[in-house]
Structure 1
Amino acid sequence: MSQAQVSISSKIVGQIDRGYVLLIGVADEDGEAELDYLVHKITNLRIFEDTNHKMNLSLTDVNGSILAISQFTLFADTKKGNRPSFTKAGKPEHAEQLYLQFVQRLKDAGIEVATGEFGADMQVELTNDGPVTILFDTQNK
């Protein structure tokens, strides 16, 4: 992203300039191993352009930030009917705990992290540079 922000009730609660917007869904099976995998992958993934316009620099190389948004709807199952089912999403207590741990681990890795609010009705605005969108699925490492 070249910029992004999240608002709740028309008040900006988190914003970043260059970096990533992470939409984070948590399953009940997710735990420490998934957190370790994601923090390592996300902080070291080389998708920012270098001086030769090649995707060769990581988030830490460009001193980027992260806007982390909880997003249970990533688990939407649309196979039956016209109303999505969210039964594959983690229970809220587990999902919130893992989301908060994930944010803290990113901060511990030296990344500036802004957030929304778990479970809140949020409005997310972003300018997707590229655009580049990448899916990390810990069930398919």
Structure 2
Amino acid sequence: MASINPYLNFNGNTEEAFNFYKSVFGGEFLVLQRFKDMPETANVPAADQNKVMHVALPIGKGNILMATDALESAGHTVTFGTNFSVAISPDDEKEAKHLFNGLSAGGQIAVPFDKAPWGAYFGMFTDKFGVQWMVNYDENPRR
């Protein structure tokens, strides 16, 4: 069955926030990836290249707190109170497609479910109740 974890969006201070969370929860980041680390983001403005594209901090048994810097240069805005999504990590591609199609029915798809630049299958949407979701299936998970 899929695991469910919170995914937070910040206005450029993701690294500061996650260093704080790490100081409280302990542990080490599973990944801290910057926009400059991905070839597909070569067109990201120089001022945004060092911002955090994805960070993951394990908390407790099987929980992972994840986040990104929302880039205004890419048209993203952060509205506090709705600056998070529920991230689902299914066990296989079939389950991922089923969850994406089922939960997005009647909602608004922001990113269609397809192969992503990081190699996983990914999709993002807001369901018909206004809840933001991300589905990410990776055969070789790093989180």
**Which category describes the TM-score, using the shorter chain as reference length?**
under 0.3
What's the TM-score, normalizing by structure 1? 0.25
The structure whose RCO (Cα within 8 Å, separation 6+) is larger is 1
What's the TM-score, normalizing by structure 2? 0.25
